[in-house]
Amino acid sequence: MHDRQYPVHGAGLGLRRALMAPLAQGGSDRPDFLEVAPENWIGIGGARAKRFRALTEQYPFVSHGLSLSLGGPAPLDEAFLVQVRDFLDAFGIRYYSEHLSYCGDDGALYDLLPIPFTEEAVDYVSRRIRRAQDILGRRIAVENVSCYATPGAEMSEIDFVCAVLDEADCELLLDVNNIFVNSINFSYDPIEFLDRIPGERIAYAHIAGHHEEDDGLRIDTHGSDVIDPVWGLLQQAYRRFGVFPTVLERDFNFPPLPVLLQEVSRIKAIQAQAQGTATAGAGGR
């Protein structure tokens, strides 16, 4: 286990506009923090900006980017990174993360595409991450992504992820659901993948639901409840690395907020159980 400082603590929820009004009302089951996509809020003004600022005064915030395209062939969008930096500073957002993937060339492709698992790609994307960190004036985390093909792969996914984290000297947004989805689609052991993660680089985590196609293919959708094997993998991660902040992602098919918050409460319960087990183990030494 690794003793480290995290940007936030506990169980969080991805902020979507449909959730703003009920979240503003607070309540005893509220999430510990919220996550926001900067692209959806940069440049907002008027009443929307006031409502957003009010939420940032009620909750700690982290942010998860959608469009930086760290692995893409187009030049890194440095002007956008300046906008992100100003957004983080203006609203007191505690952290910024992005996908270890690409999503465009000269235009947006509206999907997250896999970076080839090669040494050349490790060097390329690591240089771009280091440059992004320089412009932002802070370290960032990159997320292990779901993918459905691995064109040109010369190494395993976990070797690629670890090499990028090391060469870029950045942190990891650990997506537990993506580990599970990829383990089914590419027939690997998710626990072995998890055991290779450098726990000292975990900044926080995602957990979400996914869809199973008729042929067994798993698609990362964020549109359904988290399934039991993914909850189990989260428990394993806490046992392996200690408790880290974890965000529930839900992008559509929203249930009423109290129902959605039951999953956030389940994260809290698993965290409390893991902390209790760790405390009991330490007391028994």
pTM over 0.75: yes
What gap in Å lies between CA 19 and CA 268, rounded to an integer? 20
Residue 201: strand, helix, or coil: helix
- Given a contact cutoff of 8 angstroms between Cβ atoms, the answer to whether 224 and 256 are in contact is no
Of 5-19, 69-83, 211-225, the poorest mean pLDDT is in 211-225
- Interstrand relation of 141-143 and 96-99 (parallel, antiparallel or unpaired): parallel
The encoded tokens of residue 45 equal 């003004």
Domains by residue range for the chain, with CATH: 11-283 (3.20.20.150)
* CA distance to 88, 145, 192, per residue, from 185 (Å): 36, 13, 15
Residue 189, pLDDT above cutoff 70: yes
- Interstrand relation of 11-14 and 246-249 (parallel, antiparallel or unpaired): parallel
Q: For 217-240, how does the pLDDT look when each residue is reduced to its tens digit (9 = 90+)? A: 667 666 678 999 999 999 999 999
Residue 167, pLDDT above cutoff 60: yes
**CA count, 13 A, side-chain hemisphere, 1:** 15
Where are the alpha helices (H) located in the chain, listed in sequence order?
20-24, 46-58, 78-91, 119-136, 157-168, 176-185, 190-196, 228-241, 257-283
**Predicted confidence band of residue 1 (pLDDT cuts 50, 70, 90):** very low
* CA distance to 73, 198, 265, per residue, from 242 (Å): 37, 12, 18
Rounded mean pLDDT, 257-271: 95
Going by C-beta distance under 8 Å and a sequence separation of 6 or more, which residues neighbour residue 145? 99, 100, 101, 112, 114, 175, 178
Residue 51, pLDDT above cutoff 60: yes
Going by C-beta distance under 8 Å and a sequence separation of 6 or more, which residues neighbour residue 232? none
Residue 135: strand, helix, or coil: helix
Give, rounded to a whole angstrom, the gap between the first and last alpha carbons of the chain.
15
**Predicted confidence band of residue 266 (pLDDT cuts 50, 70, 90):** very high
Task: Give the number of other CB atoms < 10 A from CB of residue 2.
Answer: 12
